[in-house]
Chain A
Amino acid sequence: MREWIWRLRAMLRRDRTMVDKREELQLHRDLEIEAGRRAGLSIEEATRRARWRAGLVSEGLDPVRAAHGIAWMDGAALDLRHAFRALTRNRSFGVVAILVLAASVAINTLIFFMLDGVVLRPLPYAAPEQLVRLYDAGKTQPKFAMSVGHYLDYRAHATSLEAIALYTGHDMELSASDGRSQQLTGVGITTDYFTVLGRPPALGRGFSDEDLKVEVKHAVLSYRLWQERFQSDPAIVGKTIRLDREPWTIIGVAAEGFQHVGGDYRSPLQGESVDVWLPLTVNEERAMRAYHFCNVIARIRPGFTVSQTQQELNGLAASYAQRYPDYGTWGVRMEPLLNEVTGRSRQVVWLLMAAGALVLLVACANIAGLCVARAVARKRELTLRHALGANRWQLLRVGLAENLLIGVAGAILGLLLAGAGLPLLRQLLPVDFPRAHEIGLTAMGAVFASTIALATVLIAGLLPIGGNNTLQAQTRVTAARDSRRLRSLLVVGELTLAGLLCAGALFLLRSYQEIGARDHGFNPSGVLTFQLTAQGGGREHPDRVPRLYEDIRMRIAEIPGVAAVGASTNLPWSGYDENTGFGIVGRAPDQDKDGPGARYQSASPGYFEATGMRLLGGRLFDRTRDIKGQPYTVVVNDALASRYFPKGDAVGAVLDLSGQQRRIVGVVAGIKDFPADLDTKPAFWFPLGQVDYRTVFFAVRSNSVDPTTLTAAVTAAVHAVDPELPVADIRTLERRTSGALASRRFALWLFQAFALLALVLSAAGIYGLLAYVVKQRRKELGIRAALGASRADLWTMVLSDGLKMATAGALCCLLLIPLGGSLLQTFLYNVKAFDLITIAGAPAALLAVAFLASLGPARSATHSDPSLALRED
């Protein structure tokens, strides 16, 4: 014990100690010379004798160093030098191991970059763990947008909340002097929005309570908009800009890099997604209490727990429900902000991380196999070293030093590869992937890469020791057999893991195909879509907006090649989520307070035709009957019809919508909110001619295959009607709807890449082992050939070796596939854990890969010259 402390101290103070030693020895020498002088020698002679007597200073020092515990470190350096030389001599081992390691480290690090950016890194707000999103919770709507009334109540009375703010999307048109206006992403916010997040504006101020009025036209710009559109004008505060063709005063510029909170309901994504912030104004009492359209962000006051806060808010919500019984009973739902931001994507990232870990295990087994082969190859050398007095630890160290070098090289190369892969990953990522902007090269990623690289090589280096530990007293034959058995085991392990990854990829592929093969209720191909936000005509021209849209529609319909055109409040799979309750005329209202409810939206004539929705009964909207002044009408989907009119008497029935009575004139096949949803939500459409919407999406179905060829003509048609109206977000419907599947496609692609890599690695494992075995058994094969074994016999021998391992791997993976399938279940649609195609496919892939990998060694087995083999040693 005392000795260890001493060594440790010596190592830490190595330089100091060496200087002391030198000085001590120098003194000794000087005294000796002096004594020589006193005895009457010349100074030269005295010095010579002293030197001679002492040898050289360093000679005296060497044993001192050895006794110091520095030897260990010097030994490590020596080991590394030795390992480096050994690796450069045996290049193929080093190169293969480094490449295998780098590839698997690269993909794992890439996924880790995602994990780090999306899940691990705190959100860019002050004390983000205190931030929560709040929802109104109803009986059928557990996470509903909040009404302003609830917000005012919580803001005034909740002591456990430090601050609370509402926000809701409100896009604006920014007019420019050159007449080219620009669509801005805008968000209406209440007073404390910036304070809740702890990021006050960089210039000017945020909104005060006095700003939250319709007549106050104050705006806060985003830093980016301020830079790009206003050239970072330092005197911007107080200036006026034209938004939606009205003058607005700029009162502030948000902090640089400020990220919007994001939300599912009428909100831009989390990130630097907002151009302009406006006051969220609600004046009317009824609108304040009845309409739920606000996202909420709140900060829990330090010292309060989540459950205390939840309890207090529950109490407040209950008393609110008693005070305002006309507006329904709503509770409160509270969710940590990070969970809300990352949502389901978190699961995807963890899933990919798990898949990456499997690949890493395959790589580890692969490198371990290489190490076993290497240990066998250098057995002679090790035995010699052992005989010369190296102890077990020293022998082990040589191998570990080699692996350490491989690990360092693999980590560096892997990190470089991961960095190079980042742009590709960004391209593959779905557009709306949360926090995608946070994904990048980080120090954490570098630490992760080096950790997994070193852990992998060290484990790979230590694995063979378990199987192959006796140096002496073992004949070459048994040693070779042992190592072969260990390597076969490793290969079988690789195959099992690769099979599992294949199964995962197959599961996801099957699910993706199932979704694609579904009847979605519309036909996205051949449709061009874009967004328009018209300016209202005010009191003088109340009909301006509907007339404008109808004019545009007619213009577009005249374009050659257009089969149908229509406008709607929303397009399929866009996440649109506006709901309302209604009554059915002639039926007593339900006791249930929530009552009948449905998604409400609005569509013009031609919209259903343009998107390819199917009419199931009644008629679609037309331009003569479904306009103002005519009886109110509505088109419903099959889900609404079958839920509320199970007898099939929907057409002709009359709905009561807040006192307005509307007759159902048609039933169309429904569209699910998301492509993999199990059921369709009840929904209906107002005729756009009777209910105005300023922001609409146009859908234009073309006769030709590529609808983008219509882009110029369509834009011209819009500008012919209103030259200032910006045509925003022009995309084919196919591109939009494929966005809804992007997350699945992304996971599928990566899984396929992982499975492929794992297959390649295990193929390399099989190939390496069989090639080695064939080389080892050269003599035996030669004898067999000489004794009359046919080529086919030799082929079968080698191939059966490979296929045996593949079969073992396939069996292991068969046992695990149902388990994997059930773990994946949340990501699957209409695919069972016992999916036959997957269960057959993954083992088949293993057998095929094993067969292909065995071909090379089998060929060399039949081509070996028996006489050559026999003549050897």
Chain B
Amino acid sequence: MSPFKSRKDLFPGALEMMVLQTLQHHPLHGYALVQHIKRSSNDLLQVEEGSLYPALQRMLKAGWVKAQWGVSANGRRVRTYELTAAGRKHLAREVSNFERMLEGIRLVLTPVRS
């Protein structure tokens, strides 16, 4: 019924990586993060809140992001997340790891030319 993927389909660390990447440009609250990921992935990826918030919690604990309560344009209390320096470093490392892995997978999947 739903077109989006569940977290089981993502490999471990993927969600974190996307969240960190999304936060790289500006701080966002949870819903905006979901929307951003959805839009950027051409609606291929829909993050569930059941995965998102625990993930944010883990990243808070690891010190990759920090959270702050603020007030939105229409006056609601919102919690926005911001990338920290440690998060930035972690992201860079993860992305390079990921790219190397992707490269590996691509090489394996590409039919061998003889």
Contacts and interface: CB of A to CB of B under 8 A. Distances in A.
Interface of A: 2-3, 6, 20-21, 23-25, 27-32, 35, 53-55, 59-60, 63-64, 67-68
B61 A60 contact: no
Contacts, number: 57
Contact of A21 (B50, B53, B58): B53
Interface stretch (B13-21, B75-83, B98-106): B75-83
Interface of B: 2, 29-31, 34-35, 48-50, 53-54, 57-58, 60-61, 63, 69, 76-79
A60 B30 CA distance: 13
A216 B46 CA distance: 104
Contacts of A25: 49, 53
A483 B52 CA distance: 50
Most central of A24, A54, A60 by chain B CB within 10 Å? A24
Contacts of A35: 35
Given A54-B48, A63-B54, 19 more contacts: A3-B61, A6-B60, A20-B69, A20-B79, A24-B29, A24-B78, A24-B79, A25-B53, A27-B31, A27-B78, A27-B79, A31-B31, A35-B35, A53-B2, A53-B48, A54-B49, A60-B50, A67-B54, A68-B57
Contacts of A3: 61
B81 to A, nearest CB: 10
B61 A27 contact: no
B31 A23 contact: no
B66 to A, nearest CB: 12
B63 A60 contact: no
Contacts of A20: 69, 79
A28 B31 contact: yes
Contacts of B54: 63-64, 67
Contacts of A63: 50, 53-54, 57
A103 B77 CA distance: 59
24 contacts: A6-B61, A24-B30, A25-B49, A27-B30, A27-B77, A28-B30, A28-B34, A28-B49, A29-B49, A30-B76, A31-B31, A53-B48, A53-B49, A54-B48, A55-B48, A55-B50, A60-B50, A63-B54, A63-B57, A64-B53, A64-B54, A64-B57, A67-B58, A67-B61
Closest 6 CB pairs of A and B: A63-B54, A31-B31, A28-B31, A67-B57, A24-B79, A60-B50
A23 B77 contact: yes
Given A6-B61, A20-B79, A27-B76, A60 B53 contact: yes
B53 A2 contact: no
A68 B60 CA distance: 11
A2 B63 contact: yes
A30 B78 CA distance: 12
Contacts of A32: 31
Nearest to A61: B53
A229 B69 CA distance: 74
A31 B69 CA distance: 17
Nearest to B79: A24
Contacts of B31: 27-28, 31-32
Contacts of B61: 2-3, 6, 67
Contacts of A67: 54, 57-58, 61
A24 B30 CA distance: 8
Nearest to A49: B2
A31 B49 CA distance: 12
Contacts of B78: 24, 27
A27 B29 contact: yes
B35, B54, B60 — most chain A CB neighbours (10 Å):
B54
B32 to A, nearest CB: 8
A29 B49 CA distance: 9
A59 B51 CA distance: 10
Nearest to A50: B49
Contacts of B50: 54-55, 59-60, 63
Contacts of A28: 30-31, 34, 49
Contacts of A53: 2, 48-49
Contacts of A64: 53-54, 57
B58 A60 contact: no
A77 B50 CA distance: 26
Nearest to A26: B76
B58 to A, nearest CB: 6
B90 to A, nearest CB: 14
A25 B79 CA distance: 10
B30 to A, nearest CB: 5
Nearest to B63: A2
A30 B72 CA distance: 13
B70 to A, nearest CB: 12
Contacts of B53: 21, 24-25, 60, 63-64
Contacts of B57: 63-64, 67-68
Contacts of A60: 49-50, 53
Nearest to B77: A23
Nearest to B60: A6
Contacts of A23: 77, 79
A30 B58 CA distance: 24
Nearest to B57: A67
A67 B34 CA distance: 21
Nearest to B76: A27
A59 B49 CA distance: 10
Contacts of B48: 53-55
A68 B53 CA distance: 12
A39 to B, nearest CB: 13
Contacts of B30: 24, 27-28
Nearest to A69: B61
A59 B30 CA distance: 17
A8 to B, nearest CB: 12
Contacts of B79: 20, 23-24, 27
A441 B66 CA distance: 54
Contacts of A55: 48, 50
Give the one of B29, B34, B61 with max A CB within 10 A.
Answer: B61
A383 to B, nearest CB: 32
Contacts of B29: 24, 27
A3 B60 CA distance: 10
A349 to B, nearest CB: 54
A64 B35 CA distance: 21
